[in-house]
Structure 1
Amino acid sequence: MISEQKKNEIVSAIVAERSLLGSMNKVANKLGINAGTISHNLMKSENWHNVSEKMWTGIAADLGISLVNRGWNIAQTNNLKIMHRTLADAQREALFMAVSEKAGSGKTSSIADFVAKDQNSSVYSLQCEEWSRKGFLIRLAKEVGVEAGKYDSAEDITEGIVRFFKQRAKDCSPLLILDEADKLKPAAKRFLIPLYNRLEDEIGLVCCGTENLEKEIKNGVRKAEKGYDEIDSRLGRNFVHLVGSLRSDVELICQANGITERDTVDRIFTKCKPITKSINGKFVECVEDVRAVKRAIKAEKLRLANAA
């Protein structure tokens, strides 16, 4: 059963979404529910009994709210700082940029942290899947509260998305983040071209993905495949890369999650099989997959709990 505390958190998130999207009607479009349900039931605690557990759960999922506290804390690692700086630069200067790095490097958690710290209701994030162009447009429209259905044309949906961002650009500096953008089908990736053409200097956009994002686009340019040179051009023909988790980063992650003993930190770092790589002309050891660090920390905490 969902607690009142979580319900209050969901309601607060709805209020934040209203600021982000510009109206409660757009919030309703995003959540796929009636605006009256929001105003008459969700926003009034005395009427919460009229809202089913299924609806609460669905709304929480759409707003990215976890109903279970896993107790994991984000640390200010080098990778997180690079991600935050990239996202902030793109937003401030209305740039289209791309981050291409191996899975498990902390891109998604860094994005979530950046979105959570958005004080100006101006950051929009979409986690992509293997969508066609039409499927991608429908999901992006839903994310920003623009009405779009399977019978609407791609052109009409595009117009609605562009109109939304142009309106928001009058009040703030919008940033659109496309996480796991490497999963998008080529036709969906080509949507970046008209988006840039229509919104240049009005919004920032950052495409994030695995190393396949850069590989696919650069190969597409080399083979003169449709749209790839234009995509590469609009992304500045440059891809931001991350550095991995250094020994100092692993220590910060451990400390943020309750492990402070140096020997334990060293054991976790070694367990994660660090590699040697050159960073700014200096050879250092680093862990490429931060998920391995997370698993090692949780295993250590379980070991300590079982030993107690």
Structure 2
Amino acid sequence: MKKQAVMPAWHFVETIASQTLDAYFEDAKMYGNVFAITGAAGSGKTFAAQRFSTIEPSVIHLECAEHWNRKIFLRKILAAMHKEPQGYNVGDLLDEIVSHLLIMEEPLLILDEADKLSDQVLYFFITLYNLLRGKCGIVMMATNHLVKRMERGRRLNRKGYTEIYSRLGRRIIQLPTLNKQEIISICEANGISDQPAAVEIFHECEGDMRRLEREVHKRKRKMLKQTQK
């Protein structure tokens, strides 16, 4: 059986978006601030959050999902904190989370893909803010759908939306998309040194980091096959 070639690890390159995220993560962590940050799908939000959570202590990174109810959401936070849930009802689970966070040094809770949460789960943001204000940073990350959802919720006077928006400082931060030079630098760091090839990848990936990684690996596999002939 022919052994399949293993592609090397992906090398991180700082971008304006990643630097922006790091700055807000650090601010929220140090001062217990709360932010909402949106960026296009594939802009590198999740990768930046994962990287920050491995570098810095007391960072809880949670990738949210549509099917979560309130209990699952709280249990997932505890699991991300490496804590075994002791309570069985929502109130007990919430008390556990708050008590753990309050004894941590400069804790930060990153709610990734927060726009996937249902209204009932999203309301927990208000409670968490009220109980942890100034003592735990919270960063809510999402696509631009969160902006539209907030605007619609406030316009229709839906329960909780005005309160959530107020606690976010009445502002949702928009990340910049990857620019041409950043994509070329990422290509170079990951083995694509040919400038015309990197420019082609820039036009093909449309600023999507997932597509960019796929295109880089595809071209590297092609280069590998050519050298093996």
Q: TM-score, normalised by structure 1?
A: 0.68
Q: Percent identity?
A: 34
Per-residue deviation, 1:70? 5.5
1:205 pairs, out of 138, 142, 148, with 138
Give aligned pairs, total: 221
Aligned partner letter, 1:267: E
1:153 pairs, out of 66, 82, 89, with 89
Per-residue deviation, 1:231? 0.9
Q: How does 1:19-58 map to 2 (within 5 A)?
A: none
Could you say which residue in structure 2 is the equivalent of 1:113? Answer: 51
Runs of 4+ in structure 1 off by over 6 angstroms are none
Aligned partner letter, 1:143: A
Listed one character per residue, the Cα deviations across residues 229-264 of structure 1 (whole Å, up to 9, x for unaligned) are: 111111112111111111111012112211222222
Q: Does 1:140 align with 2:77?
A: yes
Could you say which residue in structure 2 is the equivalent of 1:263? Answer: 196
Alpha carbons 2:60, 2:110 under 8 Å: kept: yes
Could you say which residue in structure 2 is the equivalent of 1:305? Answer: 224
2-structure distance, mates of 1:262, 1:182: 37
Alpha carbons 1:218, 1:232 under 8 Å: kept: no
Could you say which residue in structure 2 is the equivalent of 1:294? Answer: 213
Q: Equivalent residue of 2:173, what SS?
A: coil
Aligned partner letter, 1:231: I
Aligned partner letter, 1:205: I
Alpha carbons 1:104, 1:288 under 8 Å: kept: yes
Structure 1 unpaired stretches of 5+: 1-67, 273-286
Q: Which has the higher contact order (CA 8 A, sep 6+)?
A: 2
Q: How does 1:89-100 map to 2 (within 5 A)?
A: 89-100=27-38
Residues 70, 304 of structure 1: alpha-carbon distance in 2 compared, 3 angstrom cutoff: closer
Could you say which residue in structure 2 is the equivalent of 1:224? Answer: 157
Q: Does 1:73 align with 2:73?
A: no
Structure 2 unpaired stretches of 5+: 1-5
Per-residue deviation, 1:288? 3.0
Q: How does 1:239-258 map to 2 (within 5 A)?
A: 239-258=172-191
Report which stretch shifted further, 259-268 or 197-206: 259-268
2-structure distance, mates of 1:239, 1:123: 21
1-structure distance, mates of 2:158, 2:126: 14
Q: Which has the larger radius of gyration?
A: 1
Alpha carbons 1:146, 1:160 under 8 Å: kept: no
Per-residue deviation, 1:123? 0.9
Alpha carbons 2:60, 2:108 under 8 Å: kept: yes
Q: TM-score, normalised by structure 2?
A: 0.90
